[in-house]
Structure 1
Amino acid sequence: MRTELVSEPGDPGRPNEDFASVGLPASGQGGSLVVLDGVTPPGDGGGCLHSVPWFTARLGGALTELTVSLPDVPLVELLSRALARTADGHAATCDLSHPRTPQATVALARWSPASVDCLVLSDSVLLVESPDGTVTPFLDDRLSRLPRSALASHTLVDTTLRNKEGGFFTAAADPSVASRAVTGSLPRDEVRALAALTDGAARWVERFHAGDWADCLALVREEGARSLVDRVRALERADAERAAPRRGKTHDDATVVYAELSPRER
């Protein structure tokens, strides 16, 4: 099989808060991919002594291990276990009840000889391509459906929407949030390729409308994940030069993971 991974910080002077991995079991049967997009903390640190990269590394590492070592356990349960394991690692030193305790969006996929399982939580994206070229996006669109007025300030978001009913959910300290994820499962022979993107890379479609999801996956397959990130950066620079600043970061951490399942494996 072919796999490719690119992850680039939005600001070279700041740590990359994304995490990405591809796990291939020693048995040679199946595999998994994990993509996390860490949520930048507030100025007070969110009640935690640890950085967001510390959190995403531990949560991502746990998910990588669990998705390949426990192939028969559903992804929702694995996310719950990984969150509990990560929370245990700093519960004694940090305020995990703080609404901005370290947290991340999640995109997971796991494949076996029989099936491909998918999970998305918050605004990272998972694209699934069928053998006929049809691309199906797995999206958690709760954040994008909220009115802009509800997102007017971090304080408003944190007190009324973040990890609350009627708002949106991220992977933080509460293992039960795993049940809020968008999930799906497909027969293995109906999947040719997978691509997972943090929202910094998904801007090519979602902010700049340079193509649709099928175009995005085709670009990654034909020109590589680096090409997608480079195109996003060029669009961000051009946008910043010609328009008033948009809400949010000019450049965001951008991560792309691509996995092409060979015909023999399918």
Structure 2
Amino acid sequence: MIEVRSATAAAPGRPENEDAVFQVGNLVGVLDGVTQADGVDSGCIHGAAWYVRRLARRLAEQHSADPAKPLKEILAEAISAVRDDHPDCDLTAPTTPAATVCLVRVDAGRFDYLVLCDVTLVLEVEGEVQAITDDRFEQIITRLRRAPADSDDAFAANRGYTPGKWDFTNRDGGYWIAAAEPAAAAHAITGSLPAHGDGSPSRIALLTDGAACAVDSLGILTWPALLKVLSDEGPSELIRQVREAERRRNAAGRVVGKPHDDATAAVLVITEEP
């Protein structure tokens, strides 16, 4: 038996949640929309929240139409469908609405997964815990922030968003994300695990970076401890702990980038063979 629990919450003070979580049949998905920086024209009348909700809907539709289709194909066709949903917008801009995507599906005796951009998949297999993320975006951000400090004003004007990152969107040598280019799906990280027996997972977590930060930036939990919180106390408790840690960090003046982020977590607890 597989039990799925999930929670999502907008960042404090933010009018809309730009994350999403969904389950349709045997597919679970977590998405994180890219917040638009002030003063940056996206070429689109829609925002990140709209894009995330629409992409989640299209993913569910594509999966329902063919539940056995490879996850990369499902994502590519969903991106294409959303592109067709707003043909009057200029979707050639690298700042067009976009989202990171994490998908998990149990099918034909296996778990398939997909990770695109900086979402995190956490797997517990035979007592060992592994976190999988697509670190190409983080590599670009790290490189840009190490560049000569002549862009401090631009960094401040963008509310902590690193200027120049859009020059690396959906291109070789940069990073790949769900936006207006279906080919980005081909660059997602994918894999499979047996659904039962040796090498099968007992817990799987899907996290946006606003939830994964409990481990990788706030440092309040380890990955095994995060899985324990998710399965024992639930995703809402994980988000509560993140918010509390963010408030402590912000009060201490140690903020780099956004003081809060939308946070979403889903956990699959496998108690018997599927």
SS at match of 2:265: strand
Q: Which runs of 5+ in 1 are unaligned?
A: 25-30
Deviation string 1:195-240 (CA, Å, 9 cap, x unpaired) is: 1110000110010122322221111111111111111111111011
Give distance in 1, aligned partners of 2:104 and 2:216. Answer: 21
Report if the CA contact (8 A) 1:67-1:110 is conserved: no
Contact 2:7 2:265 (C-alpha < 8 Å) held by counterparts: yes
Q: Which residue of 2 aligns with 1:87?
A: 83
2:219 maps to 1:209: yes
Q: Could you list the per-position Cα deviations for residues 57-77 of structure 1 after superposition, in whole angstroms to 9, with x for gaps in the alignment?
A: 111111123234422211001
Match of 1:157 among 161, 165, 174: 165
The answer as to 2:241 corresponding to 1:231 is yes
- The number of aligned residues is 255
3-state DSSP of counterpart to 1:146: helix
Partner of 1:141: 135
Confirm whether residue 77 of structure 1 aligns to residue 86 of structure 2: no
Q: 1:263 aligned to 244, 248, 272, which one?
A: 272
| Structure 1 vs Structure 2 CA RMSD | 1.7
The answer as to whether partners of 2:68 and 2:107 remain within 8 angstroms in 1 is no
Normalised to the residue count of structure 1, the TM-score between the two structures is 0.90
CA contact (8 A) 1:34 1:107 kept: yes
Structure 1 residues 52 and 66 mapped into 2: Cα distance closer, same or farther (>3 Å)?
A: same
Correspondence for 2:179: 172
* TM-score normalised by L of structure 2: 0.88
% identical equivalent positions: 34
Q: Structure 2 unaligned runs (5+)?
A: 146-150, 156-161
Cα separation, 2, equivalents of 1:123 and 1:147: 11
Counterpart contact for 2:18–2:52, Cα < 8 Å:
yes
The 2-side partners of 1:255 and 1:212 are apart by 17
**8 A contact 2:169–2:176 mirrored in 1:** yes
Question: Which residue identity is paired with 2:133?
Answer: L
Paired residue for 2:16?
Answer: 15
Is the contact between residue 220 and residue 245 of structure 2 (CA under 8 Å) also seen in structure 1? no
Q: Which amino acid aligns with 2:166?
A: D
- Contact 2:195/2:273 (8 A) holds in 1: no
1:67-119 deviation line (CA, Å, top 9, x unaligned) = 3442221100110000000001112x100001110100010111024110010
Distance 1:155 1:262 in 2: 46
Q: Distance in 2 between matches of 1:45 and 1:260?
A: 42
Deviations 1:99-147 (A, max 9, x none): 11010001011102411001001111111222x2222222111122336
Rate the CA distance shift 1:136–1:149 in 2: closer, same or farther, 3 A: closer
